[in-house]
Structure 1
Amino acid sequence: MAKPDTRSTGRVGVGVFAVLLSAGLLAGCSTPGGQSTGTPTPPAGSESPAPDQQAPQLVPGGTADENLPYFDSVNASTLAADPAADGRAFIDGLVAAGFDKAAMEVTSDTTTIGNAADSIQFSVRWGESCLIGQNGTAVGGYHSTVGRVLGTGTCLIGKTRTIDW
């Protein structure tokens, strides 16, 4: 009868040990219910994490692309304050953040028969570009883009409501 090669069984044993050790270490990162405990505490004497990037700001002389992060952050704040925000709430938030109200458009919050719209669109004309936002259940929440000004000189296609407040 041939004798087993102890070198290969030793490697298998080391591999099994490594898997078990990893599983044990990972088990220490979760709570008894299996949910993550969040960010681990750094060991004493370790460096602090890098500070977060600066919050987006309005760039008055910048491009629409440069202002899109700020547009998004303003709209995210509007939604954080009211997840069911209507068109007026988005427009008011953008005006308060420094965008030009005269350059804005917004679609109606209701359909032609008076039901709540599945989504609304709003925009800010920025030179020959448009910052366009859309929010609603039909589109899976908030989305934004930068587009070109249409041949009509507007940003949104179709009927928009007058911003008269």
Structure 2
Amino acid sequence: MSRFRSTFAAVMLAGITGFSLVGCTVQQEAKPLPEVEAPEAVESEAPPAAFVVDGSAEDNLPFFRETLAQFAGGAEPVQGEWLVNTLANAGFDKAAMQVSFDQSQTGLVADSLFVSVRIDASCLIGQVVTSDRSVTIELMPTVGPNEDLCLIGHTRPIDW
């Protein structure tokens, strides 16, 4: 029993000593931070992107992106004809475009539409999601046996 009491006393002493030391810290008075004025916000509005006649796909990527973003922010239906006409009206060559179908083979509205413009050996490729009108843009090399395609698979004929 005396061993139990010795152990109990040692544990209690350690606990009391530890407890009493927990609150022992050196406290210093907080020094106020110096006041620094925030720099004034400078609005630097970048000029709007412009179509570069005879420019490369890379040159026209910002304008392609801006054109599809404006389309996505509009009220026109997300359909291939609207996408192609929007890009053609902005200056892109309709004959160099490909567009995916508006509907699946089972007659359902496509989840998203793809549109592309081939410029030399490069492709500007845009995807517009029909449900939320979000846009994704890519700059990719041409593909296919003749390296003259941007979209792989069956695409809608642009005959309007």
Structures share a fold, TM > 0.5? yes
The offset of 1:120, in angstroms, is: 1.2
Deviations 1:103-129 (A, max 9, x none): 011000100010001111110010111
What percentage of aligned pairs have identical amino acids? 34
Q: 1:141 aligns with which of 123, 134, 143?
A: 134
| Aligned twin of 2:13 | none
Aligned to 2:151: 156
**CA-CA distance at 1:163 after TM superposition:** 0.8
Structure 1 gaps of 5+ residues are 22-41
Q: Once the 2 structures are TM-superposed, how far is the Cα of residue 83 of structure 1 from its aligned partner?
A: 7.0
Q: Which aligned pairs between 1:51-66 and structure 2 lie closer than 5 A?
A: 51-66=44-59
Task: Give the RMSD, CA atoms, in angstroms.
Answer: 2.9
- Structure scoring higher RCO (CA < 8 A, sep ≥ 6) equals 2
Conserved? CA contact 1:131–1:144, under 8 Å: yes
Structure 1: 4+ residue segments shifted above 4 A: 137-140
Match of 2:4 in 1: none
2:120 maps to a residue whose letter is G
CA distance in 1, matches of 2:130, 2:74: 17
Aligned 1:114-129 pairs, distance under 5 A: 114-129=107-122
Q: How many residues were matched structurally?
A: 131
TM (normalized to structure 1)?
0.69
> How high is the TM-score relative to the length of structure 2?
0.71
Contact 2:78 2:130 in 1 (8 A): no
Which segments of 5 or more consecutive residues in structure 2 lack a partner in the other structure?
Answer: 1-23
User: Could you say what secondary structure the match of 1:81 adopts?
Assistant: coil
Select the structure of larger CA radius of gyration.
2
